[in-house]
Amino acid sequence: MLGTWHALELCRAGYAVQHLEANAAPQGASVRNFGLLWVSGRRSGAELDAAQRARHRWEEVGNDIAGIGFRATGSLTVACTPGERKVMEEFAAHADAAARGITYVEPEELRARNPAVQGDVTGALHCVHDAVVEPRRALGALRDYLSARGSYTYHPGRTVVGIEERALIDVTGTRWEADLVVVATGSAFDSLPGTERVAARLRRVRLQMLETERFARTVTTALADADTLRYYPAYAVVPLDALGAQGPVAAVHHLQLLLVQRADGGLTIGDTHAYDEPFDFALDEQPSTELLARAERLLGVPLPPVARRWEGVYAQCIDGDVCAREELSPGVWMVTGPGGRGMTCAPAIAADTLRLAGA
Ligand SMILES: Cc1cc2nc3c(=O)[nH]c(=O)nc-3n(C[C@H](O)[C@H](O)[C@H](O)COP(=O)(O)OP(=O)(O)OC[C@H]3O[C@@H](n4cnc5c(N)ncnc54)[C@H](O)[C@@H]3O)c2cc1C
């Protein structure tokens, strides 16, 4: 998604773009995510600013390219205990809530906004800015749009192995020269020579996800549970003690519930976080069972069968920057490490690269 958004902004700025991709089709974090454009949880400052600019750009482009599947659904972060409700009410009273378009809603209003939530809930944070795109389709839709405009060529199956001044070398030995080169290799951030300094600012995080068959009802907003308050930095401005201790399975797997209904009706449900490499090659059933039980409790009805499960790995910048962006060699910029906000922030990250590179 980072590479593709850079391509889009470069084409818009008048450049002709050659887009190299190692695989026959993208298989990285950008096709494995929820497709959540999550403004609500962002840290105040540069991160929130990037998310807000990006959200605006996603909507603009989403209106032109239907295949992205942009929907301004908003989100509900749902409380199920009095303690969770207390924390959410406190956050809603903080100035940071208004900056993110977040208000506290009682169960009645919650159900009016999302009638699919039939479980026993005590309230929710409603964020009007959160939105959704379709991760399996968005990259292809963006590429088709760019290809049709003539100044963009996509080259799948071209693994880059070397970096030179204003040039890349691919595995066949072909040299790709350009006025500006953007290297957006996602979690493969340490696979190229000369990337050691950037790699030192990054870590990989592995997540587990699943998707159900078509859910008969319409889930009108994205949904999250109160464990997300522990992970998203926005909520650090209020005391979280009233949430109580995290459940044992959730604590081991750094688990939170996020749920999005896909355009075809399936429910994407996640996620977990593992930080220590080497990652397990196997998908662990225990957190999946926990996530399904939480989703079922929230919706108050049995879920359809699970249709697919997968893992995903993203690169995360560990020094607090929105992403790691460095000029590796004259005219060659590496951009990666947006962590769990890469889908959300990609348009703004691309715009910032062009500005910094003077493009
Ligand atoms: C399970 C999961 C859920 C997530 N949910 C969300 C969400 O809902 N909202 C959100 O904002 N963020 C989310 N994220 C984070 C987001 O998906 C990532 O931050 C983002 O997709 C990263 O994009 P990227 O382009 O940097 O990396 P990638 O998508 O990994 O793309 C990198 C590309 O570079 C290619 N490549 C690598 N090396 C080479 C090479 N040497 N030569 C040529 N090509 C190469 C790869 O093949 C790949 O296609 C989630 C991540 C995961 C894993």
Decide whether any atom of ligand 1 lies within 6 Å of the 28 Cβ. Answer: yes
Which residue puts its alpha carbon closest to atom 5 of ligand 1? 33
In this predicted structure, what is the pLDDT of residue 319?
95
**How far apart (Å, rounded) are the C-alpha atoms in residues 45 and 43?**
6
In this predicted structure, what is the pLDDT of residue 352?
98
183-186 long-range contacts, Cβ below 8 Å, gap at least 24? 183/328, 183/332, 183/333, 183/334, 183/335, 183/336, 184/2, 184/3, 184/6, 184/334, 184/335, 184/336, 185/160, 185/334, 185/336, 186/2, 186/28, 186/29, 186/30, 186/314, 186/315, 186/336
Classify residue 141: in a domain, yes or no.
yes
Tell me the CATH number at 65: 3.50.50.60
DSSP codes, 99-138: HTTEEEE-HHHHHHH-TT--S---EEEEESS-EE--HHHH
Decide whether any atom of ligand 1 lies within 6 Å of the 1 Cβ. Answer: yes
Classify residue 156: in a domain, yes or no.
yes
Q: Token pair 């209003």 is at which residue?
A: 109
Classify residue 186: in a domain, yes or no.
yes
Instruction: Give the pair of three-digit tokens for residue 352.
Output: 């910032």
Which residue puts its alpha carbon closest to atom 18 of ligand 1? 342
Is the peptide bond between 233 and the residue preceding it cis, with omega within 30 degrees of 0? no
Instruction: Give the pair of three-digit tokens for residue 191.
Output: 């696979």
Domain boundaries, position 5: 1-70+135-199+319-359
In this predicted structure, what is the pLDDT of residue 296?
98
Classify residue 13: in a domain, yes or no.
yes
The atom of ligand 1 lying closest to the CA of 311 is 1
Ligand 1 pocket test, pick from 9, 20, 34 with the greatest ligand atom count within 8 Å of Cβ, gives 34
Classify residue 97: in a domain, yes or no.
no
Decide whether any atom of ligand 1 lies within 6 Å of the 184 Cβ. Answer: yes
In this predicted structure, what is the pLDDT of residue 288?
98
pTM of the predicted model as reported, rounded to 2 decimal places: 0.98
DSSP-derived letter for residue 211 is E
In this predicted structure, what is the pLDDT of residue 254?
98
User: What would you report as the CA-atom Rg of the chain, rounded to the nearest whole angstrom?
Assistant: 20
In this predicted structure, what is the pLDDT of residue 312?
98
Ligand 1 centroid distance, CA of 284 (Å): 22
Report the number of distinct structural domains present in the chain. Answer: 1
DSSP-derived letter for residue 359 is -
Q: What is the full per-residue pLDDT of the chain (359 aa) written as tens digits?
A: 999 999 999 999 999 999 999 999 999 999 999 999 999 999 999 999 999 999 999 999 999 999 999 999 999 999 999 999 999 999 999 999 999 999 999 999 999 999 999 999 999 999 999 999 999 999 999 999 999 999 999 999 999 999 999 999 999 999 999 999 999 999 999 999 999 999 999 999 999 999 999 999 999 999 999 999 999 999 999 999 999 999 999 999 999 999 999 999 999 999 999 999 999 999 999 999 999 999 999 999 999 999 999 999 999 999 999 999 999 999 999 999 999 999 999 999 999 999 999 99
In this predicted structure, what is the pLDDT of residue 123?
98
Decide whether any atom of ligand 1 lies within 6 Å of the 135 Cβ. Answer: no
DSSP codes, 154-195: EEET--EEEEETTEEEETT--EEE-SSEEE--TT-TTSSTT-
The atom of ligand 1 lying closest to the CA of 207 is 1
Ligand 1 pocket test, pick from 170, 183, 334, 343 with the greatest ligand atom count within 8 Å of Cβ, gives 343
Classify residue 341: in a domain, yes or no.
yes
In this predicted structure, what is the pLDDT of residue 187?
98
CB–CB of 223/261 below 8 Å?
A: no
- CA dist 211 to 32, 76, 128, 161, 183, Å? 11, 19, 25, 35, 31
Classify residue 29: in a domain, yes or no.
yes
Instruction: Give the pair of three-digit tokens for residue 304.
Output: 């359809």
Which residue puts its alpha carbon closest to atom 13 of ligand 1? 340
Q: Under 8 Å CB-to-CB from 252, ≥6 apart: which residues?
A: none
Classify residue 225: in a domain, yes or no.
no
Decide whether any atom of ligand 1 lies within 6 Å of the 42 Cβ. Answer: no
Decide whether any atom of ligand 1 lies within 6 Å of the 256 Cβ. Answer: no
The pairing of beta strand 202-212 with beta strand 181-183: unpaired
**How far apart (Å, rounded) are the C-alpha atoms in residues 192 and 328?**
11
